Amino acid sequence: MDDFPSMQARCVDAIKRRALRLLHHTARGQRLILTMYLWAEEGTEGALLNEIIRQTDLPWVLGQVQRHTADEARHATLLRRRLAELGARSVGPARVDVVSRWKLQRLQALCQARAGRFSAGRIVPVFALAFRMEVMGVRVMARHVSVMEQLEVKPVETAAMLNVILADEQKHVIACEAALHRLVRDDEKMALEELCAEIDNVDRTLGITGAAVLWVTGAVLVVAESVRKMLPQAMLKLRSPR
């Protein structure tokens, strides 16, 4: 029998795939999902990379973070350009919703609590968090690309952009994992595995709720767009003489 995390993951994936299809019915929906990606690039990931820099002066780590930061800046540029093409007037600085803020606070507390388990200190939990966030990013992007491939009207430009970002994120996963292996001693490997499992467990918290909210948002936008298109016709009928 499948364990609960596996069942939850399949349920979340199914709901989010339906949500993505709904969001692609409207320009507002497409802008919403791309804005969420943009805020992740400029907000969460940027903060993690800055935290890693504050925790070390190792040249190889700083070089890796510098390359990673350059990729994230390029992703943000691509996302902002695509958002403008989809009609977004402007996108403000990164914002974090209540659920994500709560998760981040729990993850930061977890990093602080587990730092003493590693000889390299707090940089290991922070790098582990960056690693698991990149894994999540790859999963999210891959799902989105898969959904777009199945749409009747394929958003070619968006798909091409996300494939570029996805390829970079896959490289980031490999780089973060390799960095952790360099930072962690053999006798600390088990503690690292346990930490990654704890991070994943926090990330799964309220996963179904978040997926459901995304689906409802997509449905509301579809209904709103239908009403918007119907209103001019209804007004013309009201104004026409009987």
- Domains of the chain in start order, with CATH, are 4-239 (1.20.1260)
pLDDT digits (tens, 9 = 90+) for 127-163: 999 999 999 999 999 999 999 999 888 889 999 999 9
Cα–Cα distance between 8 and 204 in angstroms, integer? 8
Cα–Cα distance between 45 and 131 in angstroms, integer? 10
Residue 1's pLDDT band (boundaries 50, 70, 90)?
A: very low
Q: Where are the alpha helices (DSSP H) in 40-121?
A: 46-54, 59-85, 98-114
**CA 7 to each of CA 3, 12, 99: distance values in angstroms, whole numbers, following the listed order:** 7, 9, 21
What pLDDT does 234 receive?
47
pLDDT digits (tens, 9 = 90+) for 175-223: 999 999 999 999 999 999 999 999 999 888 767 777 777 778 777 877 7
What pLDDT does 72 receive?
94
Cα–Cα distance between 15 and 94 in angstroms, integer? 25
The whole model's pTM is what?
0.85
pLDDT digits (tens, 9 = 90+) for 72-83: 999 999 999 999
